[in-house]
């Protein structure tokens, strides 16, 4: 299968400024040398705790942020330096769905205007086609034409997220980066929105990057999962392999906290000591070394790279030479 998106050695360092002269005093290494690819039609889940760099990675792919270093290829074209018509096309092909459906919809616009705005901006429809087009898109997400004249505040959280998805879909994207799309919603509504996303993926042949701190949500949706910690990708594999046989000690700790459906396979809960270090001052060797129950001498000096462990499974850990 061909890769729709390929990320190579991606880095995003944010400057820290301080002092009277407001000089650069350091860098927050939000994303630090991350590589992965996403195939057409698949869902790649990216999990990790807040501050691990997963949202920044999403924003870099959408070009809402510029990378400090590294390359992003979309359909085999490097998108880092893109401009003009090719950039405008890319802006249609990759869309984002954000966590907070309250914040991401302009409260003064009707639902019909919110959905048709991207189409009009990109000159993809005439004003007279608007009503028809909006109705089609609303139906796709389980709403209907009667909702078009209403305002975002008239809708529930779940419906608002449907409107955000409708707006993202209006431009017929190929890739959707969804950053915690259901985290702000009631648990009872979450599965409805997730099911909708799965149905839309099948019907419209969409590719997803699904970013979440919620392991069960990611497991449910993803074909493959990448685990991030302190700006690094520490493990990547097929969802089943990764959940059944996590290899990186951080992944093992994360999964041990999730209640198992099968009591026979119950894992002992691994409690990690200490806090995640500051991304402004990450450990020199393995970023997980200060908290790792299996730490060795080499871990404190040498940073492990991603190593293949078997069929499409990789981890960055010195336990696997
Ligand atoms: Fe733990 Fe060492 Fe592996 Fe890092 S490299 S996860 S410190 S065993
Ligand atoms: Mg985030």
Among 319, 320, 321, residue to substitute to test ligand 1 (most atoms within 8 Å of Cβ): 319
Residue-level pLDDT at 180: 95
Within-domain flag for 236: no
Which ligand sits nearest to residue 46's alpha carbon? 2
Domain containing residue 110: 3-222
Percentage of residues in the chain having pLDDT higher than 70: 98
pLDDT at 264: 63
pLDDT for 23-59, tens place per residue? 999 999 999 999 999 999 999 999 999 999 999 999 9
pLDDT at 260 over 80: no
Please state the ipTM of this predicted complex. Answer: 0.97
Looking at the structure, tell me whether residues 289 and 197 fall in a common domain: no
Beta carbons within 8 Å of 96's beta carbon, 6+ residues apart:
58, 62, 64, 168, 176, 177, 178, 179
150: pLDDT strictly greater than 70: yes
Alpha helix ranges (H) inside 180-265: 187-204, 215-221, 239-244, 249-256
Q: Between vectors from CA 189 to CA 59 and to CA 266, what angle results, nearest 5°?
A: 85
Q: Would you place residue 115 in the very low, low, confident or very high pLDDT band (cuts 50, 70, 90)? A: very high
Question: Closest ligand 1 atom, CA of 300?
Answer: 7
Residue 60 clears pLDDT 70, i.e. is over it: yes
Looking at the structure of the chain, the number of domains it has is 2
How far is 318 from 321, CA to CA, in rounded Å?
6
Residues with CB under 5 A from ligand 2 (ion): 55
Ligand 2 center–CA 7 separation, angstroms: 19
Q: Are 255 and 316 members of one domain?
A: yes
Same domain flag for 187 and 260: no
| Full DSSP string of 146-179 | GGTTS-GGGS-HHHHHHHHHHHHHTT--SEEEEE
* Residue 237 located in a structural domain: no
Quick one: 157 and 298 in the same domain?
Answer: no
Same domain, 186 and 50: yes
Between 80 and 164, where is the model more confident?
164
Query: What is the side-by-side strand order in the sheet with 23-39?
Result: 23-39, 3-18, 69-74, 77-78
CA dihedral 242, 245, 251, 254 (to 10 degrees): 100
1 pLDDT higher than 80: no
315, β-bridge pairs = 235, 307
Residue 235 lies in a domain: no
Confidence of residue 266 (pLDDT cuts 50, 70, 90): low
**Residue 261, pLDDT above cutoff 70:** no
Across residues 298-312, what is the average pLDDT? Answer: 95
Average pLDDT, the chain: 94
Predicted confidence band of residue 278 (pLDDT cuts 50, 70, 90): very high
Any domain includes 10: yes
Q: In this structure, are 9 and 106 located in the same domain? A: yes
Across the range 133-141, mean pLDDT stands at 97
Of the candidates 294, 236, 291, 228, the one whose C-alpha atom is nearest the C-alpha of residue 29 is 228
Q: Is 230 in the pocket of ligand 1 (CB under 6 A)?
A: no
Instruction: Give the residue among 37, 38, 34, 47 at the shortest CA–CA distance from 219.
Output: 47
Same domain? For 164 and 96 the reply is yes
CATH number of the domain to which 193 belongs = 3.40.50.300
This prediction's pTM: 0.94
Residue 102: pLDDT over 90: no
Q: For position 258, what pLDDT does the model report?
A: 81
* Ligand 1 atom 5: residue of nearest CA: 317
């Amino acid at each position: 299968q061909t890769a729709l998106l390929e990320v190579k050695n991606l880095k995003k360092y944010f400057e820290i400024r301080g002092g009277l002269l407001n000089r650069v005093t350091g860098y927050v290494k939000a994303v630090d040398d991350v590589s992965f690819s996403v195939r057409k039609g698949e869902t790649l889940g990216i999990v990790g705790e807040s501050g691990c760099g997963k949202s920044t990675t999403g924003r870099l792919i959408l070009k809402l942020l510029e990378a400090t270093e590294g390359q992003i290829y979309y359909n085999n074209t490097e998108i880092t330096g893109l401009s003009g018509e090719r950039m405008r096309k890319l802006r249609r092909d990759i869309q984002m769905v954000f966590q907070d459906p309250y914040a991401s919809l302009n409260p003064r616009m009707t639902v019909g205007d919110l959905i048709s705005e991207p189409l009009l901006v990109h000159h993809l429809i005439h004003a007279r086609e608007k009503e028809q087009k909006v109705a089609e898109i609303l139906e796709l997400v389980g709403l209907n034409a009667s909702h078009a004249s209403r305002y975002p505040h008239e809708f529930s959280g779940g419906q608002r997220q449907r409107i955000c998805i409708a707006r993202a879909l209006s431009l017929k994207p190929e890739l959707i980066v969804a950053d915690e799309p259901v985290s702000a919603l009631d648990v009872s509504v979450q599965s409805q929105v997730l099911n909708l996303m799965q149905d839309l993926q099948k019907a419209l042949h969409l590719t997803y990057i699904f970013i979440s701190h919620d392991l069960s949500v990611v497991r449910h949706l993803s074909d493959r999962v990448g685990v991030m910690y302190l700006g690094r990708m520490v493990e990547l594999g097929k969802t089943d392999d990764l959940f059944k046989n996590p290899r990186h000690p951080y992944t093992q700790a994360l999964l041990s906290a999730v209640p198992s459906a099968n009591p026979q396979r119950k894992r002992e809960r691994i409690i990690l000591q200490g806090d995640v270090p500051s991304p402004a001052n990450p450990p020199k060797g393995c970023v997980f070394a200060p908290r790792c129950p299996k730490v060795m001498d080499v871990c404190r000096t040498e940073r492990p790279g991603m190593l293949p462990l078997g069929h499409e499974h990789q981890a960055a850990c010195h336990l696997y030479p």
